């Protein structure tokens, strides 16, 4: 990976300085450019151009087998030009750095609440978390995918009470989430006229907490049926959570008493107006509430018990929580209490993300203002994708349209999210999301299918490596070869920044270059057999890189669209 070599070499030659290694906007400015001369010259109080020339001379000595030339530009930029034969020789070298070897990372994502439908708010956590887990695995980390479900609290006492009053087991088995939601809503509607139901729900939850056999069985059934529905959604989204470590808040209920006693014994938790808090004023945060005045624990308490369990049993280098922006204070408090408890050196990171908006820029919701169910979103994008596929391939059988449309739809959803910075709110522009000619998932899938068609139509000609690659001299070939070099850097940056938009941009630029190549060079019509085989090797490498990169984003490719 040349970019990493360049950065490491400059760091060794000029230690202690922060500088950039960038890809210039035009080929005339080199394959890579760095501002290191400005940074070092400022500290040493010397002329940047003079220092830039020293940098160039050093690089030419260190990388003579790779570098064609090194130039000083403007007031002191260093522009590096690679040898064509070096670029050609790198074809097929993937170069993803194994920076995670021997380290474990836990990625918590999705985390729905049982007895409720997954909604549009779960989409971003599920998509971003799954892609980050894929990236960390590619970088050599031992990745633990963690689904921390909401399965505890007084609402389950109300649900159990509702079930006992108005149960319909046939409906529960046929449509579990819808039936549980119906029961919960009916209970709250009835409470408006019958306030005593509030106490009934509290009593049923008390019995659940104390291990009542009947209530435990009902609750376990709710949880199992909910997980079945969640896994069905994960299958439709093609994410890898079906075999994840699934833990619920209930798994830590038994640990809370001893955890609280320890916090009190260490002087970290104190009473305030009957509640139990951890004072975080020194950290500039509001107090962390561990137990309410009525004795009830909170999500923060259970999250703290879960965090301690993960650190003790999994010994991870990092734990990523892929959760919406709105929970920022919760995680600041959680991490602050973790530090006070001195739970070890595990790095904890809140990977934030914004809201999902409609095309009008408002929060995506139904006309009644309710959150849209995730299944409705999947159904809508699949229906729209089917229309696009049918328009492109009118002769396709309905089953093929359905199969292709499902893959295109999920790719469109994921890419629309991941190409944007996670902190940003994302807009559901359905037409742009499915545009085969724009910056979209289907565009990248279509590019892969187009490259696959070239390889499929090559006849007896097979891709070749070796000396024939020296025939790859067309400007678009060189641009593709250079762009292929940066795949590993793009993947590593995702882990460094906890964001996927850099990799999405890399793949879009690769697709743009590939389509330009397709339009300018007649690969299978080349009368030079050796050059044709070298070009097929390039096409194969680009297709492979697109496939690998899209797989990291959780997007499947198609041989035909």
Q: What is the pLDDT of residues 48-72, one digit of tens each?
A: 999 999 999 999 999 999 999 999 9
Q: Which CATH architecture has domain 2-82?
A: 2-Layer Sandwich (3.30)
Q: At 296, is the pLDDT very low, low, confident or very high (cuts 50, 70, 90)?
A: confident
Query: Which residues, other chains included, contact 356 with Cβ-Cβ below 8 Å and sequence gap of 6+?
Result: 120, 121, 123, 124, 363, 364, 425, 426, 428
Q: At 367, is the pLDDT very low, low, confident or very high (cuts 50, 70, 90)?
A: low
What percentage of residues in the chain have a pLDDT greater than 90? 81
Q: At 243, is the pLDDT very low, low, confident or very high (cuts 50, 70, 90)?
A: confident
Correct CATH for 104-246+304-318+325-347 of 3.40.50.620, 3.30.420.40, 3.90.550.10, 3.20.20.30: 3.40.50.620
Q: At 459, is the pLDDT very low, low, confident or very high (cuts 50, 70, 90)?
A: confident
Q: Which of 276-290, 373-387, 461-475, 494-508 has the lowest mean pLDDT?
A: 461-475
Q: How far is the C-alpha of 190 from the C-alpha of 516, rounded, in Å? A: 64
| Global confidence as pTM | 0.94
Per the prediction, the chain carries an average pLDDT of 93
Q: Tell me the mean pLDDT in the region 160-176.
A: 95
Q: Tell me the mean pLDDT in the region 338-355.
A: 95
Residue range(s) in the chain whose domain bears CATH number 3.40.50.620: 104-246+304-318+325-347
Give, as one character, the DSSP assignment of residue 249: G
Residue range(s) in the chain whose domain bears CATH number 3.30.1360.70: 2-82
**368 pLDDT exceeds 80?**
no
Count the Cβ atoms, other than its own, within 10 Å of residue 35. Answer: 17
What percentage of residues in the chain have a pLDDT greater than 70? 98
**365 pLDDT exceeds 70?**
no
Q: What is the CA radius of gyration of the chain?
A: 28
Per-position DSSP letters for 40-65, written without gaps between them:
HHHHHTS-HHHHHHHHHHHHHHHTTT
Q: How far is the C-alpha of 286 from the C-alpha of 276, rounded, in Å? A: 13
pLDDT at 198: 92
Q: Tell me the mean pLDDT in the region 203-209.
A: 93
pLDDT at 123: 94
Q: What is the pLDDT of residues 437-450, one digit of tens each?
A: 899 999 999 999 99
Give the torsion sign (CA, 378, 381, 387, 393). negative
Query: Which residues, other chains included, contact 322 with Cβ-Cβ below 8 Å and sequence gap of 6+?
Result: 107, 108, 109, 125, 128, 129, 132, 351, 353
Cβ contact 191:197 at 8 Å: yes
CATH of domain 374-552: 1.10.730.10
pLDDT at 465: 67
State CA 232 to chain mean position distance.
Answer: 20
Give the torsion sign (CA, 379, 380, 383, 385). negative
Q: Tell me the mean pLDDT in the region 96-118.
A: 95
């Amino acid at each position: 990976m040349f970019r990493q070599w360049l950065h490491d070499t400059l760091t060794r030659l000029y230690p202690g300085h922060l500088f950039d290694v960038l890809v210039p906007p035009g080929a005339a400015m080199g394959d890579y450019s760095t501002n290191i001369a400005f940074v070092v010259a400022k500290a040493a109080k010397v002329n940047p151009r003079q220092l830039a020339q020293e940098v160039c001379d050093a690089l030419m000595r260190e990388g003579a087998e790779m570098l064609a030339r090194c130039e000083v530009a403007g007031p002191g930029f260093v522009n590096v030009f690679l040898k064509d034969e070096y670029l050609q020789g790198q074809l097929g070298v993937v170069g993803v750095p194994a920076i995670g070897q021997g380290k474990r990372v836990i990625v918590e994502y999705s985390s729905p609440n049982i007895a409720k439908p997954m909604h549009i708010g779960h989409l971003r956590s599920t998509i971003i978390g799954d892609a980050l887990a894929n990236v960390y695995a590619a970088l050599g980390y031992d990745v633990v995918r963690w689904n921390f479900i909401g399965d505890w609290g007084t609402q389950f006492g109300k649900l159990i009470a509702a079930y006992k009053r108005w149960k319909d087991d046939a409906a529960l088995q046929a449509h579990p989430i819808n039936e549980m939601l119906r029961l919960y809503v009916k209970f709250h509607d009835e409470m408006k006229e019958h306030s005593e139901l509030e106490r009934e729900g509290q009593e049923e939850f008390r019995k659940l907490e104390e291990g009542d056999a009947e209530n435990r069985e009902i609750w376990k059934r709710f949880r199992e049926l909910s997980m079945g529905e969640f896994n069905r959604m994960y299958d439709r989204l093609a994410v890898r959570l079906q075999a994840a470590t699934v833990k619920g808040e209930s798994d830590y209920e038994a640990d809370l008493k001893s955890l609280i006693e320890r916090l009190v014994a260490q002087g970290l938790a104190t009473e305030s107006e009957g509640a139990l808090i951890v004072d975080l004023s020194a950290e500039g945060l509001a107090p962390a509430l561990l137990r309410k005045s009525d004795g009830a624990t909170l999500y923060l308490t259970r999250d703290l018990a879960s965090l301690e369990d993960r650190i003790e049993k999994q010994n991870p280098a990092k734990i990523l929580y892929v959760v919406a922006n709105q929970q920022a204070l919760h995680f600041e408090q959680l991490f602050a209490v973790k530090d006070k408890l001195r739970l070890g050196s595990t790095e904890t990171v809140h990977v934030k993300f914004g809201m999902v908006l409609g095309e009008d820029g408002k929060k995506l919701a139904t006309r009644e203002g309710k959150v849209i169910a995730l299944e409705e979103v999947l159904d809508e994008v699949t229906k729209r994708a089917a229309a696009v596929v049918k328009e492109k391939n009118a002769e396709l059988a309905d089953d093929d349209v359905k199969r292709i449309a499902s893959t295109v739809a999920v790719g469109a959803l994921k890419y629309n999210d991941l190409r944007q910075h996670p902190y940003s709110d994302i807009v559901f522009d359905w037409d742009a999301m499915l545009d085969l000619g724009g910056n979209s998932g289907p565009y990248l899938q279509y590019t892969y299918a187009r490259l696959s068609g070239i390889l499929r139509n090559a006849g007896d000609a097979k891709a070749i490596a070796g000396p024939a690659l020296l025939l790859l001299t067309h400007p678009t070939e060189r641009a593709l070869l250079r762009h292929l070099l940066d795949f590993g850097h793009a993947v590593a940056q995702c882990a460094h920044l906890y964001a996927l938009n850099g990799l999405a941009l890399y793949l879009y630029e690769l697709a743009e270059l590939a389509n330009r190549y397709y339009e300018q060079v007649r690969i299978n019509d080349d009368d030079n057999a050796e050059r044709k085989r070298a070009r097929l090797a390039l096409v194969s490498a680009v297709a492979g890189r697109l496939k690998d990169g899209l797989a990291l984003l959780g997007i499947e490719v198609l041989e035909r669209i």
